[in-house]
Amino acid sequence: MKFEDLNAWKRAARLSADIYRSFQGSRDFGFRDQITRSSLSIASNIAEGYERDSMNEKSRFLSYAKGSCGELRTQIYIGMEVGYIAKGQGKQWVEETRELSRMLYALMQSARSQGVKSQESKGEGTP
């Protein structure tokens, strides 16, 4: 499967684009840089994981993407608190990061189980 076919990647890329558009006029360059980088990291790590050769690497990069969801969610909460993000918009983004985290967890579980099956078929998982 190509990463471009994954709903998680499509949604992460869309979320990142939304965040970029929302912060393009922000004069708080530090916050803008941080929130756009963490949003970009989600889709980028999904893509990188799916371009890797092993299931272990795929799972590791999906884990990085999931971590970036938590980082982004934190920045959204802070952005709402300081008035950079409207509460309604922030709540939508928070829910989207939660959903992406669930999707990434399922993809990680799938990659891990495929990695175990692959090792067992090579005789690496049996004593």
Q: Which domains does the chain have, with CATH numbers?
A: 3-121 (1.20.1440.60)
**pLDDT tens digits along 83-99:** 999 999 999 999 999 99
What is the residue-averaged pLDDT of the chain? 92
Give, in order, the Cα–Cα distances in Å from 92 to each of 14, 73, 125.
Answer: 13, 11, 43
Cα(7)–Cα(53) distance, rounded to whole angstroms? 21
pTM for this model (two decimals): 0.88
User: What 3-state DSSP class applies to 52?
Assistant: coil
- Enter the tokens of residue 99: 């959903």
Would you place residue 127 in the very low, low, confident or very high pLDDT band (cuts 50, 70, 90)?
very low
Cα(63)–Cα(111) distance, rounded to whole angstroms? 11
| Mean pLDDT across 105-113 | 92
Q: Please write down the long-range contacts of 33-41, taking CB distance under 8 Å and 24 or more positions apart.
A: 34/75, 35/72, 35/75, 35/76, 35/79, 38/68, 38/71, 38/72, 38/75, 39/12, 39/15, 39/68, 39/72, 40/16, 41/65, 41/68, 41/71
